[in-house]
Amino acid sequence: MAGINFKNLDLNLLTVFEAIYSAGNISHAANHLAMSQPAVSNALARLRDLIGDPLFVRANRGVQPTSKAKQMIGPVRDALALIRRQFDGDRIDLATFRRRFRVLMIDTLEPLLVPPILKLITEKAPGISIESISGYRVDFVNEILMGTLDLAFYVFPINAPDIVTVPICPVDVVIIARRGHPQIGKTLDLEMLKSLKQVTLIPELRALTHVDKDMVAHEVPRNVAYMVNRLWSIPPIVERSDLVGILPRRFVEEVSRNFDIVSYEPPVKISEQYLYMLWHAKNEHDPGHKWLREQMLQAAKAVFPPADPAKPPPASRTKRSGVPQSAK
């Protein structure tokens, strides 16, 4: 932005820029800002003239940022957050607070945590919206560090500079099958599991869980017939076939009301795994960000049973320097 006359830079232009970047659509940004679409387009035109870059180009169902816009978004969000903190202090007025959060949400948690959050937003914070980003992205740490992702839920803690990691819940698994499966009785034994065809996640996603590793340890081959890239695909496939699947217990309890499936205890020991919430340390005291984190944690406590006091969870917070890596 060298050479720009900052006397001509209206702070509202940066607010409009951030809203368009988050929404990926000028009309949606206008609705979020409670502005008319022509007013938003006019503000964008002014900022384009100041920056000397189009910032956004047309794309399917909206716009996509240019390279210059991608470079700007992190610093712009940091600056707007700093200004908000100076005026808002540690409290926010939920009735008037306006912000769009970008959250990486994994399938396991979405049906459990999101509905109560949306109910709260609808009733008390109508100016808040959440853009759900597809889970299991390999570059999400960089997105957090760049400021383009507000919050992430992941299956491993991350060791990276300025990343705060908090364990939110343990996860164990069950085996699901269609009700009335011709080969399964009241229980599912080891020999039966070996003989049944399975629907599983693709190998890249299975590698993020302990299931395959524990199956190998117990010398139980997985008789895979079909692989999917989303957990949500497994229940309907199981319901309409004789395949079985292995899914997180609490996820199954939530979605089984929508599918004619039953669950069974695994005949081999599958290690429990924790899920984690991560964010950039710079957002630690951001009032809006803090509010959303607290609501997510309260939702997790409400839907997951209390942890066994004899088996403490992993360290509650991390903020270390190092190279991003998965926990082993």
Torsion 325-71-38-32 (CA) sign: positive
pLDDT tens string 163-210:
999 999 999 999 999 999 999 988 899 999 999 999 999 998 898 888
Q: Boundaries of CATH 1.10.10.10 in the chain?
A: 1-88
Give the pLDDT confidence score for residue 312 in this predicted structure.
56
pTM here is 0.73
Q: Beta strand 173-178 with 128-134: parallel, antiparallel or unpaired?
A: unpaired
Give the pLDDT confidence score for residue 311 in this predicted structure.
60
- For the structural domain made of 91-170+272-328, what CATH number should be given? 3.40.190.10
pLDDT tens string 72-85:
988 888 888 778 76
Task: Write out residues in the chain with pLDDT < 50, as ranges.
Answer: 1-2, 309, 320-328
CATH class of 173-264: alpha beta
Domain 1-88 has CATH 1.10.10.10: yes
Give DSSP secondary structure letters for 14-82.
HHHHHHHHHHSSHHHHHHHHT--HHHHHHHHHHHHHHHTS--EEEETTEEEE-HHHHHHHHHHHHHHHH
Q: Boundaries of CATH 3.40.190.10 in the chain?
A: 91-170+272-328, 173-264
Give the pLDDT confidence score for residue 160 in this predicted structure.
82
Give the pLDDT confidence score for residue 231 in this predicted structure.
92
144 with 228: CB under 8 angstroms? no
Give the pLDDT confidence score for residue 183 in this predicted structure.
93
DSSP 116: H
pLDDT tens string 96-122:
888 889 899 988 899 999 999 999 999
